[in-house]
Structure 1
C-alpha cells in the first residue's frame, strides 16, 4: 500500500528491452533508498513496481507488456523524471489517501493554466471512469494524492500549490502528455455498491 505522498523525483538512467519485458534502471536521490531490499515495492508514477536489483542509489524494475500497455511507463525514456514513493509501513502517517499502486487508466492533460502562485491542470479520463469523479474527492495522478477541483463530465481539474510542483514532476507536465490515474478505492466501492442496488449515478 501507498499513501499518495510523493517522496521525491527519480530519473530513468537506462532501459533494457527484451521480448515481453522491459527493465528500468532508475537513479534515486541520495540516501532515499539506502535500506531498500530486493523484492521491495516502490511506486513509480503511481505504478507499484518490485525491486529486482540494486546498486547504490540505482534500482532495477521489470515491467511486463501488460503493465506498459495499461500505464504510461511505456512512454518513459532515458532521462525521464518520475515521481516515487516507497511502500507504506504500519505506523506511518497517512497524509494523502490509501493507494494500491494499481493504475486504473491513463488520462491526457487537456489544459494547463498558471494563475499567480499555482497551477491548474485539467485531465480527461475515459467515459467509463467519470462516475468516480466528484468535486473535492480524492484521486491519484502519477502516484500523488490530490483533491479534485471541478468536474465537467469526464474531465476534472486539480489545483497545485508551489510545494506540490517542487516535490513532483507536475511542473514538467504539458498539454497532450498522459498521466496514470488511480481512483479512490472507497469512492469506487460506494459507487459500485449503489449501482448493484439499482441506484446508478445519473449521467451528467
Structure 2
C-alpha cells in the first residue's frame, strides 16, 4: 500500500529494451534506499514496481507489457525523473490517502494556470473514469495524492478536472516539469470507485 506522499525523485540512468518488456534503472538517494531489499515494492509515478537488482544507488525495476500499456513509464527516457514512494509500513502516518499503486488510466494535461505561489493544472481523461471524480474528492496523479478542485465535462465527451498545487508539492515532485499534452498516470480513489460501482449495480437491478 502507498499513501501518495512522494518521498523524492529519482533519475532514470539506463533503460534496457526487450520485446513488450523493459528494465529501467534509477539512481535513488541514500535516504530512499534505507532498508531496501530485492523484491521490495517502490512506486514510480504511482506504479507499484519490484526492485530486481541493487548496485549501490542504482536500482533496477522490470516493466511488463501491461505496465507499459496503461502507464507513462514506457515513454521515459534516460535523464527523466520519476516520483518515488516506498511502500507504507504498519504504523506509518497516512498523510495522503490509501493508494494501491495500480494505475487506472492516463490523463492528458490540457491547461496550466499560474498564480503567485500556486499552480492549477487541468487534466482530461476518458468519460468511463470520469464518473469516479467529484469536487474535493481524492485522486492520484503520477503517484501524488491530490484533492480535486473541480470537475467539468469537455466538449469532446471526456471529463476534465483540476488540481491546485502548493510550492512544496512543486518542489518535491515532477509536476513542476509537466507541460500541456504530457500524459500522467491516474489512480482513482478505490473507496470512491467501490461506492460508485455498488450504487450503479443496485440501481441497475432496480430498473431491471
Aligned CA RMSD, in angstroms, stands at 1.1
Cα distance in 2 for residues equivalent to 1:187 and 1:19: 36
What is residue 99 of structure 2 aligned with on the other side? 99
Cα distance in 2 for residues equivalent to 1:190 and 1:113 = 32
In the TM superposition, 1:40-79 aligns within 5 A as 40-79=40-79
Structure 2 residue 178 is the aligned partner of structure 1 residue 173: yes
1:66 Cα offset (Å): 1.6
Match of 2:168 among 143, 163, 167: 163
Q: TM-score, normalised by structure 2?
A: 0.94
Cα deviation for residue 65 of structure 1 reads 1.7
**1:183 alignment partner, one of 180, 188, 204:** 188
Partner Cα separation in structure 1 for residue 82 and residue 119 of structure 2:
19
More helix by share: 2
- Structure-1-length-normalised TM-score: 0.96
Q: What is the CA distance between 1:30 and its match in structure 2?
A: 2.8
SS at match of 2:33: coil
- For the pair 1:196 / 2:176, whether they are aligned, the reply is no
- Does 2:113 align with 1:113? yes
C-alpha displacement of 1:111: 0.3
| Residue 18 of structure 1 pairs with residue 18 of structure 2 | yes
Partner residue in 1 for 2:156: none
Q: Within 5 Å, which residues of 2 pair with 1:125-144?
A: 125-144=125-144
The count of aligned residue pairs is: 200
- Residue 5 of structure 2 aligns with which residue? 5
What are the within-5 Å matches in structure 2 for residues 25-36 of structure 1?
25-36=25-36
1:82 corresponds to: 82
Q: Which runs of 4+ in 1 moved over 2 A?
A: none
